[in-house]
């Protein structure tokens, strides 16, 4: 392991309209990193911000050249912004962190300790979600329960993207080419020697959350559909059940007609069955469509993100 006295530590920060927190963020994180090593970099990914985020980053870089900037061509969303940052990071250990100080930088000290003790991935686990709203808390709980049941690897509860990863984990991560990037799922799939540190998640330092209801909903669907093909299999079982029940019911009707004759009843039951099964059909098609759509997105082989400018970083590592 590259466990030098002075390991290179990379911090990766996706930023979308974070002008209000940038200065506080650097004030908080720089002393922590300086106390750990002489050799660090803070890779800030400007995810198509429309405010003063980029000029503020450039100003901050004038004071500390360890601050490096990846300026994306537009807003790609947190997951892809993070991917871009991880691609550029060169550290022996790499830590993705939110800009709004909801991921406390002090925790990095503890993470580095566990990394030095031999863990490849040190996950920050929230001990509570009191500072999230009721709705976000409940929906997160439900999501983790469903996703955990559906997938083989499971997604650890209450763990976000905030974690420390060894270089070998980063290389493994970089070898995953898919464009539907549900980071929590990808992290869980990787495995490696994991350790945890716990913390209470504070409120945003300033600014507002970038998540809206639909975004969260789509994020949750993304999590399930990009992570497991189990919903496809449900249709095999439903189809099986129907094909077992249908002949039985059919025989019942035939026998009943032979015995009691046919008085042409059954309008209500026919309509009910037609509606029910066409509903099921459409649902099945929709779920199939979710996967076909994802296959379509993947085969286009577009780059995951586009870099407008990389300041202080080698450009050869550009988009993939
Ligand atoms: N973020 C981003 N692109 C986006 C949305 C968010 O890079 O499209 C960044 C944002 O600047 C912040 C982090 O992702 O550093 C987490 O965002 P936020 O605090 O809004 O999410 P929450 O903490 O409410 O889950
Ligand atoms: Mg936040």
pLDDT tens-place values along the chain, 320 residues long? 445 678 899 999 999 998 889 999 999 999 999 888 888 999 999 999 999 999 999 999 988 888 999 999 999 888 889 999 999 999 899 999 999 888 899 999 999 999 999 999 998 888 776 666 777 777 777 777 777 776 666 666 677 889 999 999 999 988 887 777 777 778 878 888 888 888 887 777 667 776 677 777 887 787 778 777 778 888 888 888 888 888 888 888 888 888 888 777 778 788 888 888 888 888 888 888 888 888 888 888 888 888 888 888 876 555 55
Question: Does residue 77's CB lie within 6 angstroms of at least one atom of ligand 1?
Answer: yes
- The answer to whether 99 and 209 have CB atoms below 8 angstroms apart is no
Q: How many CB atoms lie within 10 A of CB 253?
A: 11
Question: Does residue 207's CB lie within 6 angstroms of at least one atom of ligand 1?
Answer: no
Residue appearing with tokens 């566990």: 114
Protein residue with least CA distance to atom 11, ligand 1: 15
Ligand nearest to the CA of 204: 2
Question: Does residue 99's CB lie within 6 angstroms of at least one atom of ligand 1?
Answer: yes
The verdict on pTM exceeding 0.75 is no
Ligand 1, residue 16: give the atom nearest the CA.
Answer: 11
CB contact set of 143 (below 8 Å; sequence gap of 6+): 220, 223
* Residue to mutate (ligand 1; options 14, 139, 160; most atoms within 8 A of CB): 14
For residue 1, what pLDDT is reported?
45
CB contact set of 54 (below 8 Å; sequence gap of 6+): 46, 69, 71
β-pairing verdict for 307-311 and 40-46: unpaired
- The answer to whether 231 and 130 have CB atoms below 8 angstroms apart is no
Q: How far does residue 13's CA lie from ligand 1's centre (Å)?
A: 9
């Amino acid at each position: 392991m590259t466990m030098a006295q002075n390991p290179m530590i990379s911090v990766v920060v996706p930023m979308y309209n974070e002008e209000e927190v940038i200065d506080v963020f650097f004030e908080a994180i720089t002393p922590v990193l300086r106390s750990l090593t002489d050799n660090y970099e803070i890779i800030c990914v400007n995810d198509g911000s429309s405010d003063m985020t980029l000029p503020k980053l450039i100003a901050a870089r004038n004071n500390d050249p360890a601050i490096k900037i990846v300026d994306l061509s537009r807003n790609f969303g947190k997951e892809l912004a993070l991917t871009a940052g991880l691609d550029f990071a060169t550290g022996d250990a790499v830590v993705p962190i939110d800009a709004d100080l909801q991921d406390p930088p002090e925790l990095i000290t503890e993470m580095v300790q566990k990394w030095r003790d031999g863990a490849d991935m040190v996950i920050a686990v929230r001990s509570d979600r009191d500072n999230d709203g009721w709705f976000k808390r409940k929906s997160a709980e439900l999501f983790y329960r469903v996703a955990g049941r559906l997938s083989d690897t499971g997604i650890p509860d209450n763990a976000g993207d905030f974690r420390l990863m060894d270089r070998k984990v980063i290389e493994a991560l970089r070898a995953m080419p898919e464009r539907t990037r549900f980071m929590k799922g990808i992290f869980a799939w990787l495995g490696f020697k994991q350790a945890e540190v716990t913390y209470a998640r504070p409120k945003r330092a300033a600014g507002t959350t970038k998540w809206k209801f639909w975004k969260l909903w789509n994020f949750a669907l993304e999590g399930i559909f990009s992570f497991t093909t189990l919903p496809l299999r449900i249709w095999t079982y439903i189809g099986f059940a129907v094909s077992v029940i249908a002949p039985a019911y059919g025989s019942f009707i035939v026998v009943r007609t032979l015995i009691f004759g046919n008085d042409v009843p059954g309008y209500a039951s026919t309509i009910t069955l037609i509606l029910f099964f066409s509903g099921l059909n459409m649902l099945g098609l929709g779920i199939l469509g979710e996967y076909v759509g994802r296959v379509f997105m993947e085969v286009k082989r577009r780059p995951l993100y586009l870099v407008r400018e990389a300041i202080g970083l080698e450009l050869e590592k550009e988009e993939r």
